[in-house]
Structures are given as C-alpha cells and as structure tokens.
Amino acid sequence: MRLTREFFERNTVLVARDLLNKVLVYKDGDTVIRGKIVETEAYIGAKDQGAHFHKGLTERTRIIDEVGGHIYIYTIYGMYLLFNIVAEEKGTHGAVLLRAVEPLEGVEKMYLNRYKKPYDNPQKREIIGLTNGPAKFVMAYGITKELYGADVVTDPRIWVEDGPKLSNEDIVRSKRINIDYAEMGKDYLLRFYIKANPFVSKK
C-alpha cells in the first residue's frame, strides 16, 4: 500500500526512522524498480548546519518549503545526484536523505543502469554495490533531476510502499556521514539503518 500524506507530514526524525523497511518504487516506462529502504539520514532545518537549507531557502532548496512527500534532488561533486524526501507540514523545513536500498525487483535494469553492461551472472559484491550508497542507488534506479519536486504521495512514476515495522532492536542510530564541517549538527544522531543489512553504506 502506498504511503499517505500523513506519514510524511510528521517530525523529520520520525519519518527518517520509519522509512526503514519501506519500499521505494520507480516506474520507468514499462520497467518497475523496487527496493527496500535500509539507511536514511534526517536533516532538520535552522539548527542543523548539515542541512543545505539551514540559512533559509534558495532556488535549489525551494521545495523544502512544501508539504512532506515532495522530492528534493541535488548534485554533489558536480556529477552525482542525491535523493531526499521532504518531511513536516508546509512551511516547516526538514528532509530525509535516502542513503541505501536493498534491491527487490528490476535488478537487471538496475545493473544495466549502474554498470553499463548486461546482467550476466554477476558477483555478489556487484549486486551489493548496486545500491549501497546514496549516489549509487540513484544511478541504479535511473533517477534524474526530472523528479525534483515530484510528490511520492500522488505521482504515478514514483512512490513509497508500506512494509513491516521494525523492532527497536533492528534499528541502529548513529551520526551522519561526511558532515564534519557542520559545527552544529555533526554530532546529531540522525542516521538510521537496519542492523546487519548488507546494503548499508557504512556500518
């Protein structure tokens, strides 16, 4: 079942945690790609210097002002795309970065997108390497900036499906990755991942 608006309108940290074990679905033409979300990070606005929007909105971050459920995509290192879902009610700024997913459907298409070669008896490390990082899974899904501002609650191309709720024992909470520059925010425990899942980017 597709997640409703109410799921995304909640506190950003809760959304980040509860997205674990949910399924991100992308319909690209006749191809459907599905992956279980196994790692997320929450970014929470003005008091979080790790967030792009902590000093206010720009043309790039304008979608953060919308109601939870909209997609925020941005470029890092001039070449990689990262995929976020806006949280909170309209006007309250928060977003969840999806860092890793576990492939469930459309693996052959993911492999072609990611490695630019046909799926032919791949090694286990290649399968794990498909989606065990925030830029990797975006490449594997074939997501582009065309989805900037799309709404996972209503868009026919991309959505999030419900999944079994995890127990607290199955969820690891830690500091976020690669934000040591953020004097206020680098020590926040706003990263969540599924314990022992092989597709998590960094244990």
CA neighbor of 100 nearest in space, from 1, 2, 194, 4:
194
Give alpha helix (H) positions in 102-185: 107-115, 124-131, 134-141
Residue 202 forms part of a structural domain: no
For residue range 112-165, list pLDDT tens digits in order. Answer: 999 999 999 999 999 999 999 999 999 999 999 999 999 999 999 999 999 998
Supply the pTM of this predicted model.
0.95
At 83 the pLDDT is 98
Q: Decide if 151 is inside a domain.
A: yes
174 falls within a domain = yes
Q: In which domain, by residue range, is 95 found?
A: 5-194
Q: Could you tell me the two tokens for 158?
A: 């991309």
Q: Does the structure show a pLDDT above 80 at 93?
A: yes
Half-sphere exposure in the Cβ direction for 57 (13 Å, CA): 13
pLDDT at 56: 80
Within a domain: 203: no
Domain count, the chain: 1
pLDDT digits (tens, 9 = 90+) for 155-201: 999 999 999 989 999 999 999 998 888 777 788 999 999 999 999 99
CATH of the domain at 20: 3.10.300.10
Q: Decide if 182 is inside a domain.
A: yes
- Residue type, position 92, single letter: T
91 falls within a domain:
yes
- Is there a domain that residue 60 lies in? yes
- The percent of residues above 90 in pLDDT, for the chain, comes to 81
pLDDT reading at 55 higher than 90: no
Is 24 inside a domain boundary?
Answer: yes
What pLDDT band is residue 52 in, cutting at 50, 70 and 90? Answer: confident
Q: At what angle do helices 107-115 and 134-141 cross, to 10 degrees?
A: 110
